[in-house]
Amino acid sequence: MTVDVEYLKRENAWRWQAMSVRPDSKLDEVAARLVSRRPTYRAIEARTGVPWFVVAVIHEREAGGVMSANIAQGDPWNRVSVHVPAGRGPFNSFEDAAYDALVNCAPHASRWTDWSIGGTLTLLEEYNGLGYATMGIPSPYIWSGTDQYSRGKYTGDHHFDPEAVDKQMGCAALISSMAKRDPTVRLGATPAPVKPVPVAPKKSPPPRSATHAGGPIAAGGGAAAAAHQAGYSLREILIVAAVAAFVCGIVLRSKYK
């Protein structure tokens, strides 16, 4: 059975909005520990593009936060892995092993681009496997520690126990708790739109009156210019100019009689 990933994103986003995180002192303890390791996870983010807090919760779920363990499956990173994905390593460092897990191993988290809450939780679910999604039930890998999950768990590869209860904190509860401690835990964050700087409209110079800077002659030229700005044809502008000149002549004759 195939899983509609876009539907799963919407479902996970809805569960995130609806969830209540169960109070648990262990949750606070784990979240604080993961936040304290932000520089290490940030270094991995810089190499892979996977947000540091996503690396952190994968590390917790896959390896219990143990620094000598590979985030791919929890095996020691300085040995060849025996669990899925098997045959990886050995590596020179925790960071190198994490790079391999996020770049070279399914679901190739470094290629993921949707870091909205629905997209992030879906990537994390894919990281663990979509077996729960194919059954139409919430994944404990994501929802353990919240009211969205009660029981049912894969206790081994391809073995599902409907009565088993996941004792680890799920990714959603961990991210929620980490976000309360660290403002850099931001899901789906995008740069704020740049607010346009208002530009004052260019002011036109006041119209020149018939008695200012050239008197009646300037008034005639101003009338022609106004006609041009209004979209009149050249013929119409010439008529306007002629009429203005005629009027100016009458004014001048009457003025100097």
Last residue of a domain, one of 160, 181, 202: 181
At 159, the pLDDT band (50, 70, 90 cuts) reads: confident
Q: Which pLDDT value is given to residue 205?
A: 43
Residue 236 forms part of a structural domain: yes
Predicted structure pTM score? 0.72
126 and 230 part of one domain = no
Cβ contact 34:53 at 8 Å: yes
Is pLDDT of 232 > 60? no
Tell me, yes or no, whether 166 and 219 share the same domain. Answer: no
Q: What is the mean pLDDT of residues 27-37?
A: 96
Could you tell me if 82 and 14 lie in one domain? yes
Could you tell me if residue 101 is inside a domain?
yes
Q: State the total domains in the chain.
A: 2
Residues 125 and 240 in one domain: no
Segments forming the whole domain that contains residue 238: 215-255
Give the CA distances from residue 31 to residues 27, 80, 98, 164, 173, in Å, rounded to whole numbers and listed in that order.
Answer: 6, 29, 20, 24, 9
**DSSP per-residue string spanning 28-50:** HHHHHHHHHTHHHHHHHHHHH--
Same domain, yes or no: 27 and 109: yes
Distance CA 172, CA 142 (A): 5
The 10s digit of each residue's pLDDT in 85-130 is 999 999 999 999 999 999 999 999 999 999 999 999 999 999 999 9
Kindly state whether residues 124 and 238 are assigned to the same domain: no
In a domain, 102, yes or no: yes
- Neighbouring CB atoms inside 10 A of 223's CB total 18
DSSP, res 111: G
Q: Give me the sign of the Cα torsion angle 228, 230, 232, 236.
A: negative
Using DSSP's 3-state secondary structure scheme, residue 146 falls into: strand
Residue 202 within any structural domain of the chain = no
Query: Are both 15 and 128 inside the same structural domain?
Result: yes
Decide if 176 is inside a domain.
Answer: yes
What would you report as the CA-atom Rg of the chain, rounded to the nearest whole angstrom? 36
Confidence band of 251 (pLDDT split at 50, 70, 90): very low
Residue 97 C-alpha from the chain's centroid: 27
Look at residue 239 in the predicted model and tell me its pLDDT.
58
Confidence of residue 243 (pLDDT cuts 50, 70, 90): low
For residues 88 and 18, state if they share a domain. yes
User: Does residue 196 lie in a domain region?
Assistant: no
Is 230 part of any domain? yes
> In this model, does residue 82 exceed pLDDT 50?
yes
In a shared domain, residues 17 and 98: yes
